Structure 1
């Protein structure tokens, strides 16, 4: 769809080789939104991002961090903030570092945006981007602020205030209510970033969607109809075993990974993955 510019919508904690060097634009959805920021902005490897995510989950969803009364979420948001700031520092960035990356843009790889929403407007997502120059630019916030905003599931954590123009500070929560499958938002972001909607050869175009949830089917069906070409739209969805795992059940991550591994080993899925890898690698610079 976008010549030489693969873009990904990822919602599973799967290691897709060295992602940063392959995609032009990525968004992370569901309960793994933090990994997008770790990969695209903090320049972490996929293994480092997964380890950091598991460390955050085991701490913020622990019994010690659970509130005695469920006001403004089940768990203490101060712990979430502290753990995310620790990850930022471990990646050798200061906690004052902005989410906007001066090296990101149309001609760079590894651009990322994550979705959040203001608590008073749950009908449209707010995009927090690492690249600037796009319409409706999000708040000029710090890395840890964007990470907290996109992780603040309303039933689990208190909303985070982020200062905007004029000193107004809206409350931000995660975009899980209605935007668990933001693939259309990825398409629109890619159009604004890349500036073309012209089709190219099959080896230069790919939309890759990985899902571990089953509540995104209407968007998936709509996009499948819109991009009916076998070489344009790819979707991988673990249908059984992972759907009953809640956000705070971090101890069940091994169960999720086991079901996902079994799904990916299926012969048809395995062949599709080989095709996706071919398309992604086709966007890499050719070495002599």
Structure 2
């Protein structure tokens, strides 16, 4: 029953992930942790999200911005390897809280008009250093949600291009993480089993998500992306509420 519950949850979550530009890892982590344990969550999610990203790339191939992908390529590999290397030895509580606060802060973007000019315009080369940091954090704590979606939106690409480019980079990111986790001994038979089952479910969900996405306007897509980032941040902070409470009481 637990497995069925997780697969149904994964189907719903990955449809939502397609509509919001990511964040499935944060929503699924608590469910996966119940079955496989906290330490196995990161490799299981790397496998399943890697598979769902493959499905998105196939569906949005013609919309991929290969210029952005080229800037993200080296930093994604380096960052994910470094993050996975520290996965077993470094406490990630403070990082998760910081990322949660950053995601929640994106609520101010809801007031911005999609056509208005930002004070700071994101350029293609900016994705290299940002990709390095995000890949490192993803390798370290298992997932960072739609942390870079603000940059994609600021860069000015369409909803299809955002999903295609982000997914192409996600394949690279999660493939590197899987290899790194396996090298350090975190990929077991159970991890592979659950990762593949959730991955297959996610690939089916992405197909249905694409059909819904086609009926959305770019403006509405932008709004739900920002809302999903805020909700992902709230969820990440809620997951660490005990640590936050203990930290506050210690001051």
Same fold (TM over 0.5): no
Structure whose CA Rg is larger: 1
Structure number with the bigger relative contact order (C-alpha 8 A, sep ≥ 6) is: 2
TM (normalized to structure 2)? 0.30
